[in-house]
Amino acid sequence: MTTSQERIIPTDLGNEMSRSYLEYAMSVIVGRALPDARDGLKPVHRRILYAMHELGLTHDRPFRKCARVVGEVLGKYHPHGDTAVYDALVRMAQDFSMRDPLINGHGNFGSVDNDPPAAMRYTECRLRSLTGAALLQDIESETVDFGDNFDGSQQEPLVLPSRIPQMLLNGSSGIAVGMATNIPPHNLGELIDGLMALIQNPEITDLQLMQYIPGPDFPTGAQILGVSGIKEAYTTGRGSITMRGVAEIDTIEHRGRPDREAIIITQLPYQTNKAALIEKIADMVNDKKLEGIADIRDESDRDGMRIVIELKRDAYPRVVLNNLYKQTPLQANFGANMLALVNGEPQTLTIRQFLTVFLDFRIECITRRTRYELRKAEERDHLLQGLLIALLHLDEMIELIRRAADTPTAKTQMMDNYGLSEAQADAILQMQLRRLTALEAEKIRLEHDELQAQIADLQDILARRERILEIIQTEVTEIKTVHATPRRTVIEHAEGEIDDTDLIANEKALILLTEQGYLKRMPVNTFEAQSRNTRGKKGTGMKEDDGVEHFLTCCDHDSVLFFSDRGVVYCLKAYQIPASSRTARGIPIVQMLPIPRDEKITSIVSVSEFSREEYLVMLTKGGYIKKTELAAFSNIRSNGLIAISLEEGDQLRWVRRARVDDSIIIGSRQGMAIHFRTNHEQLRPLGRATRGVRAMALRTGDELIGMDILPSQVVAKIAEIEEAEPAEDAPIVNGNGPWVLVITTGGYGKRVPVGQFRLQNRAGMGLVATKFRKPNDKLAALRTINEGDELMMVTSRGIIIRQATDAISLQSRMATGVRVQRLDEDDAIAAAALVPPSTGDEEEVPEE
């Protein structure tokens, strides 16, 4: 029998099962299997990190037993089994599972052979410095929402205030009900560059972001074959990325036996079990599915992975290696499925959407933190204002307190007499007598003034979105500086996959930019070599009032860096500049680059490879010079990058590539030249946003006209000449070069032995480089050349001549030179450039 309190409710079984199953499915999706797109964490990971933060297990504190952490998580936040919590903790400490582990493990945390970790009672852990700086910073500043735990006894964060896109940094994998996620890990530095690019250009596309985030960066290194899978994953949210282990063919020596060839595997694809791979290869050899393998052994140690596969004498190593790629997990696919929770709903996101969701979350975090700091500052300042009122009426207030019968009476009278709030009256009553001294009173006034400035600043941050974006950029730049590591995974072009450069022959090209901003590219072979003292060919169809400003020879595959007078650098591939005929005007550069109207390109440099061994040397109109590592310019945003910090009124004028053992020669309009080394003593390397040091002392009315770099072997030759005889008497005949080519605006030129320009200290007056035939003649160019070099000169009216430098006379510094180009009456030489040496591949065209 049923009691009066109980009722039987008839329900349709199908509807009940459908409703219950959907509730269960959503519970698994939201509360267990899928990560949040904002901090990239599932609830179990978030709870572990927060529990460790609450226990004070920061990177600079001693390790604590993992069992202690697991107990804390189970008791307070995560009502599931201890195995689930410990497994999640272990994975966050494995450097072969996480690109940047979030937990520092002490003890056996498993291996790439799939060995299990030691029991939690043996292992110890603490947070890594990256976790504290990038995930848990500001969690007490009301940056994120908190909710009740499972029994309502504790509060836990619903998301962590992440400063980096952790979702993409370490990736994630999980199987929910009816859906799954599989996000690959990425490089921290590249993600931060991509985020900065998105902040600078909110309209950036997924493909443009690939310039900054070229692809996943797996913790185990290895290779990615092809970019088509990456493009698909980044633009649609789904894609198959082919991973391949790193293997090389080597010869192994045996004592008393003939040498044998072997395949040495040093890196495996992400999440590949090394022991299982070796076992599979051995089984396939036994089953005769793999031929040519004599022995296989694992020689891995603490220095790194090394699997040695010895081959039979008659085996073809490349064939065996290709079979290993084809038939074993040495080559595997990563099925990217970029699914994450956005506002509690599962969504498949592109790379840009991931970064946009994170950026919006970060803006919200900083807004909430600023409001919290503003409230705290205003509350504190409110109390200080009360204390200042008390100090102003000190004697009356002391008398009032002495006469009052009790504390509540004193408080009420103070509030009534002086217009104080309850909090201010409490603060005055609690004030210690020592704070009545003159020094302490002054401290209160100073703190009040500082708080007023802080409150104004915080209100300004809340009022202006650009201030918040600046704060985000500053924070991620600090994290990148401290925690970013070089890329481990190499992205290779797959067989048959065609890159843009594969479709373009790497021919020599001439890049020309006019004063009015017209840009054009022409093949160098448009201009055949001519004799000295001839007129040259028209090189560009310019307007009457236009003139050639910059002139550069390079190869079509090179990157061309454009430096502006404001110290900003822009980048284009040479082949992206439209090819033009000899008489065409070219294309306005503003159609190719986002250059503001008040900005002007003052130097262009071609780069084939952004090496850390090379530097860019920059010289300003005001005579400041600096060198910066070339690698610092490898990722130039579409809207440019700051290259140098300039003083008011100064301009960046010349930029050249150099190595640390090279030297620099700088020329002035009145014919002076200074020559000094580029080593760290004369010119120490500086970052991008720096000013530099003084380059040359100039006479009144003189100005710099340019600089060139002398290679290290030239510097060595000069040292030899200086040891043999004084620089002033250096021989005119200088072997096969090198020489300094001196060209004047009036069309005169000469080759001067480099030995005549002795090495000096930076910031001196220099030496005379040439004597002028005519009073109005000036120095136009100063270049270093070798035997067989070819020179291209352009006049201000666009006449170009190409000629062999060997035809120009060898003369001393004090000579006037010979005529190198016949000029029209109102024309003058504007610039000179050398034809690049043959690369050997400019005639090769890829087969269709």
User: How many residues are given for the chain?
Assistant: 848
Burial of residue 592, with CB atoms counted within 10 A of its CB: 0-12 exposed, 13-18 middle, 19 or more buried: middle
Strand partners of residue 64: 125
Tell me the CA end-to-end span of the chain in Å, nearest whole number.
87
β-bridge pairing 223-225 and 490-492: parallel
Give me the amino acid identity at 431: M
Cβ contacts of 152 within 8 Å, gap of 6 or more: none
* Measured distance CA(41)–CA(50) in Å, rounded: 12
Reported as half-sphere exposure (CB side, CA atoms, 13 A), residue 1 has a value of 2
State the residue for tokens 């400041």: 624
Sequence-ordered strand ranges (E) for 745-797: 748-753, 767-768, 779-785, 790-795
Radius of gyration of the chain (CA): 35
Cβ atoms within 10 Å, residue 776? 8
Based on the residue annotation, tell me whether 748 is a catalytic residue of this protein: no
* Measured distance CA(702)–CA(716) in Å, rounded: 31
State the residue for tokens 């400019």: 842
Reported as half-sphere exposure (CB side, CA atoms, 13 A), residue 321 has a value of 17
Q: In what order do the strands lie in the sheet with 829-834?
A: 537-538, 799-804, 790-795, 829-834
Nearest to 784 by CA among 627, 601, 657, 625: 657
- The sign of the torsion formed by the CA atoms of 677, 680, 681, 682 equals positive
Please report, for residues 387, 554, 821, the alpha-carbon distance to residue 832 in angstroms, rounded to integers and kept in the order given. Answer: 73, 14, 12
Cβ contacts of 412 within 8 Å, gap of 6 or more: none
Q: What is the dihedral of CA 313, 318, 320, 322, to 10 degrees?
A: 180
* Measured distance CA(759)–CA(761) in Å, rounded: 7
DSSP track, 105-117: EES----TT-PPP
Query: Backbone phi, then psi, for 62, in 5-degree steps?
Result: -65, 155
* Measured distance CA(416)–CA(88) in Å, rounded: 60
Give me the amino acid identity at 374: L
| 247-253 LR contacts (CB < 8 Å, sep 24+) | 247/321, 247/324, 247/330, 249/317, 249/318, 249/321, 252/308, 252/310
* Measured distance CA(647)–CA(318) in Å, rounded: 59
Three-state SS at 367 = helix
Give me the amino acid identity at 507: E
* Measured distance CA(101)–CA(464) in Å, rounded: 35
Q: Where are the alpha helices (DSSP H) in 265-308?
A: 274-286
Give me the amino acid identity at 21: Y
- Six-digit token string for 202: 């909110």
Return the ∠ at Cα 464 (arms to 462 and 467), rounded to 5°. Answer: 90
Strand partners of residue 175: 180
Cβ contacts of 456 within 8 Å, gap of 6 or more: none
Nearest to 331 by CA among 399, 418, 242, 234: 242
Annotated catalytic residue: which of 122, 234, 270, 418?
122
* Measured distance CA(92)–CA(99) in Å, rounded: 10
Cβ atoms within 10 Å, residue 301? 8
* Cis before 738? omega within 30: yes
Q: Active-site residue numbers?
A: 122
